[in-house]
Amino acid sequence: MADIFTKEKRSWVMSRIRGKDTKIEIRMNEILQETGTKYRKHPEMYGNPDFVVKEEKIVIFCDGDFWHGYNYRKKRKPPQKFWREKINRNMKRDVRISRKLRRQGWSVLRFWEHDIEKRPRVCAGKIKRKIKERGLSTQQ
């Protein structure tokens, strides 16, 4: 199926999709505040994480289910080749970024959109555990 928009119109539509302060980032911001974590939003660093807990060297990504390919191997794929290729590129990029950050000593936490929305306590627990784990390792 061909795109229903011209290239120019598609570009305009895509430019309106938020990259920062999305609904799930706003919710993750609330989760981090509730845990009492000191963090920064949208730090200027490799991979453009959504949040960083600098003292413990933890980066947090909030991954949208569609854009980042949640359960992509099992789900029905979008019929348009463009979207399949885009999602595949996003998934490969996510792996590449996570690997490089880990090699640089960062701990990478990635949270799916549906978990942030429906299981915020689970997300908060993972963040707290990672902070505790990283805090202990930096004290030794």
Residue 82: pLDDT band (50, 70, 90) is confident
Homologous superfamily assigned to 15-139: VSR Endonuclease (3.40.960.10)
pTM confidence score: 0.82
Phi, psi of 54 (to 5 degrees): -65, -45
The sheet with strand 51-53 has its strands ordered as 40-41, 51-53, 58-63, 107-112
Q: 10-45: per-residue pLDDT in tens?
A: 566 555 555 667 999 999 999 999 999 999 999 999
63: which 2 tokens? 């991954």
Within 13 A of 49's CA, how many CA atoms are on the CB side?
28
Name the average pLDDT for the chain. Answer: 87
